[in-house]
DNA sequence: GATCAGGTAAAGT
DNA sequence: ACTTTACCTGAT
């Protein structure tokens, strides 16, 4: 068990932020999550966060996973005081952190995310893991109702899956993308370990070679799977926010190196902040 | 019942 | 090189 007393992280916000889809809000400030093949439960209240795991595991896995060594407050300090919209967005979502998630998992996750909303992405990934992942018993320290969890299946497993069989996970037309990308990676046509060592532009270019990965998805993978904070995924929400609140253009120069962090603030604020968001404002 | 959801591949100019 | 279109599925 690890108790963390700090207010610069909010699990609820991270859970809803659209960067991870295997974190579950169990209510009462309790969360469960699966990352790669690890299961974790967290409790959050005014006092702080309780990680239900060994201190050793926290140090070796979760500390890094939750990016606890990055000072997000100092990143927010870069905000132009004249930009009240960004200031409000960042204040509203200040508990968000960019998780350091598994690269392979992010590739498949964000291929699935296209033309999809969070609720359905969650369900599809759940089905995919249930069907192709390994079932494991939750750690003894777990308090939730869950006894078992499913790991995220590797490339060999998804490449071997039949298309029709994959479709049973409600993947729709994305089934082909998932299978082909898994094959590309299995064959060594795309080498994730190599991509991990590249700079952002080169990494993105390589990711674009994966079937079903376009510019937006590649940026999501860079941001969430490679922790390249300069990646700025532009989806329909962000596009509308930029058009509405930054008609003269978003000041990317000012936030160089941290564009992705601000993308998250904008996105989260649009979804959950102030009356409705840009998408609904335009009509 | 269209339309659209955190787009992309493939076909068509 | 750009611009359009089809695409699974489920929610509104």
By C1' distance from the Cα of A175, the closest nucleotide is C8
- Under the banding of pLDDT at 50, 70 and 90, the label for residue A282 is very low
pLDDT higher than 80, residue A186: yes
**Chain B footprint positions (protein CB, under 7 Å):** 5-9
* Residue A110 CB in 7 A reach of strand B: yes
The region that residue A36 occupies, defined by phi over 0 for left and psi between -120 and 50 for alpha, beta otherwise, is left
* Residue A122 CB in 7 A reach of strand C: no
pLDDT higher than 70, residue A173: yes
pLDDT higher than 90, residue A197: yes
Main-chain phi, psi angles of A144, to 5 degrees: -65, 175
- Under the banding of pLDDT at 50, 70 and 90, the label for residue A145 is confident
By C1' distance from the Cα of A219, the closest nucleotide is B6
Q: Which residues contact A94 (CB under 8 A, 6 or more apart)?
A: A8, A10, A72, A73, A76
Residue whose pair of structure tokens reads 């079903």 in the numeric block: A212
Residues A230-276 have pLDDT tens digits of 999 999 999 999 999 999 999 999 999 999 999 999 999 999 988 65
Residues A101-137 have pLDDT tens digits of 999 999 999 999 999 999 999 999 999 999 999 999 9
Catalytic residue list contains A216: yes
Token digits of residue A268: 């989260």
CA separation for the pair A197, A192 (Å, rounded):
9
pLDDT higher than 70, residue A278: no
Among candidate residues A41, A33, A97, the one with its CA nearest the CA of residue A69 = A97
CA separation for the pair A106, A194 (Å, rounded):
16
CA separation for the pair A45, A62 (Å, rounded):
19
- In whole angstroms, C8 C1' to A101 CA is 27
Q: Which of A63, A94, A131, A216 is catalytic?
A: A216
Q: Which residue is nearest to nucleotide B7 (CA to C1')?
A: A114
By C1' distance from the Cα of A173, the closest nucleotide is C8
CA separation for the pair A82, A124 (Å, rounded):
42
Instruction: Report the pLDDT value the prediction gives residue A275, as an integer from 0 to 100.
Output: 66
Domains of chain A, each with CATH number or no CATH: 2-67+98-226 (1.10.340.30)
pLDDT higher than 50, residue A187: yes
pLDDT higher than 90, residue A140: no
Among candidate residues A240, A263, A277, A276, the one with its CA nearest the CA of residue A17 = A263
Cβ atoms within 10 Å of A57's Cβ, excluding its own: 16
What is the pTM assigned to this prediction? 0.96
pLDDT higher than 80, residue A283: no
CA separation for the pair A90, A210 (Å, rounded):
33
Instruction: Report the pLDDT value the prediction gives residue A62, as an integer from 0 to 100.
Output: 98
pLDDT higher than 60, residue A281: no
Residues A49-97 have pLDDT tens digits of 999 999 999 999 999 999 999 999 999 999 999 999 999 999 999 999 9
* Residue A174 CB in 7 A reach of strand C: yes
Instruction: Report the pLDDT value the prediction gives residue A36, as an integer from 0 to 100.
Output: 82
Instruction: Report the pLDDT value the prediction gives residue A90, as an integer from 0 to 100.
Output: 97
């Amino acid at each position: 068990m690890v108790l963390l007393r700090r207010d610069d992280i909010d699990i609820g916000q991270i859970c809803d932020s659209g960067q991870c889809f295997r974190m579950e809000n169990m209510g009462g400030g309790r969360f469960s999550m699966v990352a790669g093949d690890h299961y974790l439960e967290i409790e959050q209240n005014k006092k702080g966060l309780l990680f239900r795991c060994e201190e050793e595991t926290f140090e070796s896995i979760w500390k890094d996973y939750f990016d606890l060594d990055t000072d997000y407050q100092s990143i927010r300090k870069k905000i132009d005081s004249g930009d009240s919209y960004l200031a409000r967005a960042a204040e509203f979502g200040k508990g968000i952190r960019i998780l350091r998630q598994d690269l392979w998992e992010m590739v498949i996750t964000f291929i699935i995310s296209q033309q999809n909303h969070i609720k359905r992405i969650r369900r599809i990934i759940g089905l995919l893991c249930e069907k192709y992942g390994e079932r494991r018993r939750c750690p003894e320290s777990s308090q939730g109702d869950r006894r078992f969890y499913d790991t995220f299946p590797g490339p060999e497993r998804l490449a071997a899956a039949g298309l029709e069989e994959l479709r049973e996970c409600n993947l729709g037309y994305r089934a082909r993308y998932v299978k082909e990308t898994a094959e590309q990676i299995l064959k060594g046509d795309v080498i994730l370990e190599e991509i991990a060592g590249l700079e952002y532009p080169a990494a993105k270019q390589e990711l674009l070679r994966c079937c079903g990965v376009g510019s937006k998805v590649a940026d999501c993978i860079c941001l969430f799977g490679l922790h390249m904070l300069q990646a700025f995924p532009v989806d329909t929400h962000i596009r509308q926010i930029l058009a509405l609140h930054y008609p003269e253009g978003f000041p990317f120069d000012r936030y160089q190196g941290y564009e992705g962090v601000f993308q998250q603030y904008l996105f989260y604020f649009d979804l959950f902040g102030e009356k409705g968001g840009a998408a609904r404002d335009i009509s």
